[in-house]
Chain A
Amino acid sequence: MKKQVKSKRSKGKSVESQDTVDNVKVKNQKPTVETVTPTTLETAPKKAKPVEVKHLLCLLGDESLVKEYSTVFQEQGISVLELKNLNTLKTSAKKITTALELTVVSGDNKRKNLDALNNALPENVPIITSTLTETLLSQTQSLQHRHRFVGIAAFPTLISNHLVELAPSLYTTKEILDSVITLFSAAKKETATVQDSVGMVMPRILCQIINEGLFTVQNDVASPNDIDEAMKHGTNYPHGPIAWGELIGFSTVAAVLDALYHNHHEERYRVAPLLRQMAIAGVFWKEKN
């Protein structure tokens, strides 16, 4: 197959040519690859985008979340690079079209990852970062190129459903947000764009439900199993709150609640002492005896 090199912009030259070649290949093998609609082309004709977008998505952060996201993208034929070592970022930086940082609980690790991505990737490559315990604004305020960051409600168990919550910060450009939305629609996910806020929508509601489930166990109102059965059969919840908390990880649930607590200074986000214990030890006090 012949290379078609488009050289309108020298900066993006190598990437674009790579795209074109790959797309021809992919087109012949998999007719389902996402096509940019004519309207998108009309609104952005100057950029001479290739007719078909070939994504290479770089994933890093919490291992189990990386796995969940990786599966979803790969199932739709989107190439994924699971980055385990930041040192290897340099060699692949030019091919990466979007990066997704999936460390749920903000801290040194997340900062290190965001810095590395921000330094290595060309400045218009979108970087999506999970923003459940710290707003996007707070994560990126002191960074260069903060226009290219988009927040996501990346929370265990949710990506297998149909919708992804995104949040731009004050600085995020429309182009960046649009390209992230396009990426998710290529992965057959719809998106909802919400305000940049701790916990966003679904994780915030979910963590509060799980917390109340644990308060209910702690107060000895009912057994964990009966609580789960009651919520599934009494009000059609997809999972019982205790089992759901276990799937997500109690330490992650506690971290989101702590962040809400500090952000709002409100007692309603107080972590149930039993949830705190589960977050640390992973077992109910009853099971230990």
Chain B
Amino acid sequence: MAIQAWRIKDRYYRLIGSRCQECRTEFFPPVYTCRHCGSEIIKDQEMPKEGKIMTYTRLHEPLPGFEAQAPFYLAVVMLDNGARVLTQVVDSPDESVKTGARVRATVRRAKVDGDSGQIIYGYKFIVIS
């Protein structure tokens, strides 16, 4: 897990996704083939850091490594460029986590790697309105 996360740390820290060089559609996570036009000419692109919640859930039965955080919010966020991110929503009052709420990306501790104890960081989102 630690090496797998290290390899794509820029994606986790700075939301580096993809931009199709032909139709200009942007994606997060990155893609190999444009989902919109099928082009394979894809370059890395930093995503905008704000968007809105399309749908959300509050998870009560977490995966191993996430027990201390449960229950926590997960949401599908549509970024302002149209790319979609599956993310935790943190540091936000319960009543603010709603469909349509505006959110902003931040970096937080994601999980502690089971084998090495290494702390892995990644994006989470906060409700801003």
A and B: partners? no
Q: Which residues of A contact B (CB under 8 A)?
A: none
B residues lining the A interface (CB < 8 Å):
none
